[in-house]
Amino acid sequence: MRNMSDSHKHRKAIINRLAKIEGHVRAVKEMTQEGRDCNDLLIQLAAIRSAIDGCGKLILKDHLEGCLIQAVRTGDEEEVLMQLNQSIDKFIR
């Protein structure tokens, strides 16, 4: 299994995005506790979902640059590609 080594240049940006998403979910939870309008909640959830999509795309790009290319260079691409294809099947719809 490959992990996110220092070859992943977007790692910090991914962590920042996840921290923002976490705060956004907490804010929507608080809006729900306050009894806020259902439509507002749905709009915020759609925004969170878009942010998750953006974060996933960044992870995927980082992975392609950081892991896959390195694996191809070392002739070790078969398992990396197989795992990546499984992730793409789950993540992209």
Residues in region 13-32 near a copy of itself by CB under 8 A: 14-15, 18-19, 21-22, 25-26, 28-29, 32
Cα separation of 93 and 82, whole Å? 18
Cα separation of 47 and 74, whole Å? 40
As measured in angstroms, the least distance from the Cβ of 62 to a copy of itself is 7
Q: What residues line the site for a copy of itself (CB under 8 A)?
A: 1-5, 8, 11, 14-15, 18-19, 21-22, 25-26, 28-29, 32-33, 35-39, 41-43, 45-46, 48-49, 52-53, 55-56, 59-60, 62-63, 66-67, 83-84, 86-88, 90-91
